[in-house]
Structure 1
Amino acid sequence: MKNAFKVSLLSSVAAATVTLMTAGTAQATNGMLMHCVGVDRCGMGGAGVAMGTSATDAAINPALGAKLGNTYQVNMGMFKADIKGFSTHSANGTLAAKRYTNMESGKNYFPNGSLGVNYKLSDDSSFNIYVGPGSGGAVIWNNSRTYGFNSTSQQDTSMEYKTIHLQPSYAVEYAGAKWGVGAVLSRGTIETNAFWGSFGGTNYYGDGTTDTFYGAGFHLGTAFDLDENVHMGLAYRSPIWHRDMADTYKNKVFSSPIDIPAQIHAGVAVDATDALTIAADLKFVQYGSVQTIGNSPADLVQLPYGNVNSGFGWEDQMIYMLGVSYALTDSTTLRAGYNHGDSPIKDSMTWENMLYPAIIEDHFTVGASQKITDNMELGFSAYLAPEAKQTEDGTVYAANALTAGSWLKHKQKGFQLSFKHDF
């Protein structure tokens, strides 16, 4: 009966995987990345690379599967992004023809969900499957940032980029530590009517068609105890190498594939009391190593319009996560957390990133879970990302004299619900 249940569950996971890998999702709160995975971690600001309390935790550290039994968790939710902007530009490249445009994004609501299943292969090893968001971002402006500069009001207004990940992973306990390895399989889509993208191509607009691309990477992790109350975790995820864009966007809107950058994630979890656990994590994201993301954009007023190596000028990002988990009773757990990462976009690149306004820095989170039987649990998490504002400072390029004073504002809020079942 138990084996039959496992087969049935695996079939359900396969069906969900096909559905999610076809749909995708758009989310960007730490740059182009989500700030957390699953209700347990999202309630704690994303912290918990050393913990291992739910099947989706393998998405941040594949070694955590060795801490878990036979279990699965489904997370489903929604978040709202409120994005506004102000663009200063020129109709002909001169200060005399300077234009000013107020902008507001009509793309506000986004689904958010993930699924994790963990199987014990033996007392010391496990197999895990995770399906969930990889990276993303979306904006549809009501006005064009370049209106009048060889563009209409309906060009250079939108970009939607989203990826979904499938990660099978294996974890084993050996020499007093947990070790994990996973393969990250990615499906992504991009659609945009961007004007020259990062200003590295010819006089070209994206036509708004959807380009689908695939990629892969790997994930390594370890988790170990310094003593019975202090737990450590460390994970490295390689870049997710995506294939080239189709001819619609390749070397026109984008100068290279939009790879997802490499990440290093480390943390400690301390059982301060029998009921209270405090977790602190650091994550380093290497945005600067991805050509399309990290290379500097070309100067808009210097002809020709740059070269095929130009990008969006993002910097590497360090993310700080702090979370607490408190077992109020044997059945009820409360969580809270904070997450901060400086914007990877420099002030001097604000206008260039109006179609990818990933400037949010702070996240305040809460969460809770409630056992409804000995092996079933319901969960909840929510976050508030207060408004971040970034203004073009008029440095670096000649074009910045035209775009100085442009600004972006971005805030978010969202929630997730979860169901966990140990079997």
Structure 2
Amino acid sequence: MKKLLILLLPFFLSLPAFATNGDNMIAFGARSRAMGGTGIAVKNLGFEAMLKNPAMVETPKEIEFGFGASAFMPWIEAKNEAVGKSFDSASNFFFIPSIGLLVDLGEHWSFGVGAFGTTGLGTDYRDSITDGQAGGYGGLFGMSTSLSLLKMAAVASYHNKGWKLGIGIPVVMGSLGISYNMSNAMVDATPTNFISPGASTDFTAHVIIGAAYEFDNFVVGASYMSPATLEYDYQLTEAGKNFGLPITSNKLEQPGEIGVGVSYEADKLTASFDYKLVQWSGADGYEGFGWDDQNVFAIGLSYRVSDSIIRAGWNYGENPLGDNALKNEGPLAAINIFNILGFPAIVEHHITAGLTQVFDEKFELDFAMVYAPTVKESTSAMNMDFNVEHSQFSLTLGGRWMF
């Protein structure tokens, strides 16, 4: 498994600089993304259900193969008021793949395996050079950050008399890189003002469990994903050193998640709602950077017209960068800089739409579009004021073959 993760990692390392619900994608495939990221109680999502609710993993045929590919285009602009000029992050286009296989084992059992790019966050201001200005590099320290996570999951589900139960074991490979420069020009950098330990990787595994119950036209479901702790050698401790931050651990834990959902089907219409609590405040690393727990609400609709299924949705994940992340003072004020320049997970609203085209009983093609309107955030540190604007747009294409 570890060797396979290493082989697949290059295809998933184009993930940094997207941040949707914190640093997690709202969903991992075209169907769920088109319906606002719902999926805890939504049927017929195929392999997309693996990391939403493993209890919903099932296929109408004996074997189902699915794929997805997203073109993700974030826009992030930062400004140090002491410089008076705005700079765009160079991390502005990424390709995010996913793939999965489902098998109907008979006797109420289904099994699935899949690989997903699930998490990413980062910026790149290395081109924001303005000589002689506060902090150098346009007052943005030439900061470059990149967090990427690949998950390979194996899941099993059991369905009987309306009840659905599921469990999955995602194996996680993460990569984190942080660099910045305290000087005014890269050529003048010295080991004391240029920090770049390269990228660090780590492996771990965690668990996702789920349950659902189907009755009349309704499905209700619940899921829990355990935390996944990774340790990125030298990244956090070295990053905090020049700013005087007392960081003693390089652990960065993807937080636990608790979710509930409901869906309703009537003739050609399906309506779905999900709620999820993302526990950032207790996660190693994020806790030290002051992230708050995040409430995520999602609504999805689909309507079938002949051989086409039209989808739409909305997703809201409140900004986890609250007062503890952006309003620190004194020796901890540099935390504000890392959060707003390096990890600006401030996007909240997502408007989604999509289409599924059913060609025959063996092949279906999916398309999704997600737009996150521009949001603004500001902070102060080291006698400087910083402002960031962030919006996102993505297109996802997917398909599934059933045999």
Mapping for residues 329-344 of structure 1, pairs under 5 Å? 329=306, 331-344=307-320
Q: Deviations over 1:285-337 (max 9, x none)?
A: 00111231122xxxxxxxxxxxxxxxx211110011000010111x2111000
> In the alignment, which of 41, 44, 59 is matched to residue 51 of structure 2?
59
Q: Deviations over 1:106-161 (max 9, x none)?
A: 11001122112111112300111121112111211133799866766695410011
Match of 1:93 in 2: none
Which range moved further: 34-43 or 174-183? 174-183
1:16–1:187 Cα change, 3 Å: closer
- 2:373 maps to a residue whose letter is P
* In 2, Cα distance between equivalents of 1:195 and 1:293: 23
* In 1, Cα distance between equivalents of 2:40 and 2:303: 17
* In 1, Cα distance between equivalents of 2:60 and 2:207: 21
Unaligned runs of 5+ in 1: 1-12, 89-97, 197-201, 296-311
Match of 1:21 in 2: 9
Match of 1:31 in 2: 22
Match of 1:177 in 2: 163
The Cα of 1:102 is off from its aligned counterpart by: 2.9
1:289–1:204 Cα change, 3 Å: farther
The Cα of 1:22 is off from its aligned counterpart by: 3.9
Unaligned runs of 5+ in 2: 183-190, 241-248, 328-335
Q: Deviations over 1:15-69 (max 9, x none)?
A: 9866433432333211110011211101101012111312221121111114654
* In 2, Cα distance between equivalents of 1:136 and 1:48: 21
* In 1, Cα distance between equivalents of 2:368 and 2:301: 13
* In 1, Cα distance between equivalents of 2:38 and 2:264: 12
- 1:383 maps to a residue whose letter is V
Mapping for residues 196-345 of structure 1, pairs under 5 Å? 205-207=194-196, 209-225=198-214, 227-242=215-230, 244-247=231-234, 249=235, 251-253=237-239, 255-271=249-265, 273-295=266-288, 312-329=289-306, 331-345=307-321
- Please report the RMSD computed on the Cα atoms of aligned residues, expressed in angstroms: 2.7
* In 1, Cα distance between equivalents of 2:229 and 2:132: 34
Match of 1:132 in 2: 116
The Cα of 1:194 is off from its aligned counterpart by: 3.7
Paired residues in the alignment total 369
Contact 1:66 1:178 in 2 (8 A): no
**Percent of aligned pairs sharing the same letter:** 24
> In the alignment, which of 381, 392, 399 is matched to residue 412 of structure 1?
392
Which range moved further: 138-147 or 172-181? 138-147
Contact 2:213 2:220 in 1 (8 A): yes
* In 2, Cα distance between equivalents of 1:120 and 1:366: 30
> In the alignment, which of 351, 369, 374 is matched to residue 356 of structure 2?
369
The Cα of 1:163 is off from its aligned counterpart by: 0.7
TM-score by length of 1: 0.80
* In 2, Cα distance between equivalents of 1:277 and 1:175: 21
Structure 2 residue 106 is the aligned partner of structure 1 residue 119: no
* In 2, Cα distance between equivalents of 1:230 and 1:147: 63
TM-score by length of 2: 0.84
- 2:74 maps to a residue whose letter is A
